[in-house]
Amino acid sequence: MSKIKNIIWPQVILFGDSITQFSFQPNGWGSEIANQLARKCDVVNRGLSGYNSRWAKIVLPRLISKDSASSNHIAAVTVFFGANDCALEDKNPQQHIPLQEYSENLKDIVKHLGSVGVSADKVIFITPPPLHEPAWEKECVLKGSALNRLNSVAGQYAQACVQAAGQCGADVLDLWTLMQKDGQDFTGYLSDGLHLSEKGNQFVSQHLWTLLKSRVEELPFILPYWGDVDPKQPESGLLCD
List b or e across 35-45, with b for residues whose CB sees 16 or more CB atoms inside 10 angstroms.
ebbeebbebbb
CATH 3.40.50.2020 holds for 11-239: no
Any idea where the domains of the chain sit in the sequence? 11-239
pTM over 0.85: yes
How many whole angstroms separate alpha carbon 76 and alpha carbon 134? 36
Q: Are 55 and 46 in contact (CB under 8 A)?
A: no
Q: What is the pLDDT of residue 4?
A: 75
Q: Give the phi and the psi of residue 139 in degrees, each rounded to 5.
A: -65, -40
Active site residues: 18, 192, 195
How many whole angstroms separate alpha carbon 204 and alpha carbon 140? 25
Q: For each of the chain's 241 residues, which pLDDT tens digit applies?
A: 467 778 888 999 999 999 999 999 999 999 999 999 999 999 999 999 999 999 999 999 999 998 876 666 999 999 999 999 999 999 999 999 999 999 999 999 999 999 999 999 999 999 999 999 999 999 999 999 999 999 999 999 999 999 999 999 999 999 999 999 999 999 999 999 999 999 999 999 999 999 999 999 899 999 999 999 999 999 888 987 6
